[in-house]
A = this chain, B = another copy of it.
Amino acid sequence: MRIGELAERTGTTTRTLRYYESRGLLSARRTGNGYRAYGEDDVRLLRQIRLLQDFGFELEETRPFVECLRAGHPAGDSCPASLEVYRAKLAELDECIAGLQAVREQVGAQLARAELESAAGEPRCELTPDPN
């Protein structure tokens, strides 16, 4: 199949496919007129890439999965290198989540404090009953 069909079947764009090729993640035979030609393997390969991309993996991180598939393994994560990427990503996610939760607490504390100060400060600027 040609690049347009592959793009459509994998829910991406021709630009993206050419970009992947420029990054060495995808390769294509060429027909007589210079058009790129793809097969079903490429569909599987792209579905693997897109799945990982949806998880937030960087393109470079998908490379072991791609190479694993190209080596003829049944799944992109049949190789130890892919499992390592999984584990590294889990650690990264945990770190990221923990960082965000810490920030969330700090921002929440700032908001609570500011709301308190606002509630205490505003009445002085308005016509509120004098405690006397």
Contacts and interface: CB of A to CB of B under 8 A. Distances in A.
Interface of A: 55-56, 75, 77-78, 80, 82-83, 86-87, 89-90, 93-94, 96-97, 100-101, 103-104, 106-108, 110-111, 114-115, 117-118, 121
Contact of A55 (B83, B94, B103): B103
Given A97-B100, A100-B97, A117 B75 contact: yes
Binding site secondary structure of chain A: helix
The 5 lowest CB-CB distance pairs between A and B, nearest first, are: A77-B114, A86-B111, A93-B104, A97-B100, A55-B103
B104 A86 contact: no
Contacts of A117: 75, 78
A110 B103 CA distance: 29
Given A55-B107, A56-B103, 12 more contacts: A75-B114, A75-B117, A78-B121, A86-B107, A86-B111, A89-B107, A90-B104, A90-B107, A90-B108, A93-B100, A97-B101, A100-B100
A77 to B, nearest CB: 4
Contacts of A103: 55-56, 93
Contacts of A107: 55, 86, 89-90, 93
24 contacts: A55-B106, A55-B107, A56-B103, A75-B117, A77-B111, A78-B114, A78-B118, A78-B121, A80-B118, A82-B114, A83-B115, A86-B110, A86-B111, A86-B114, A90-B104, A93-B100, A93-B103, A93-B107, A94-B104, A97-B97, A97-B100, A97-B101, A97-B104, A100-B100
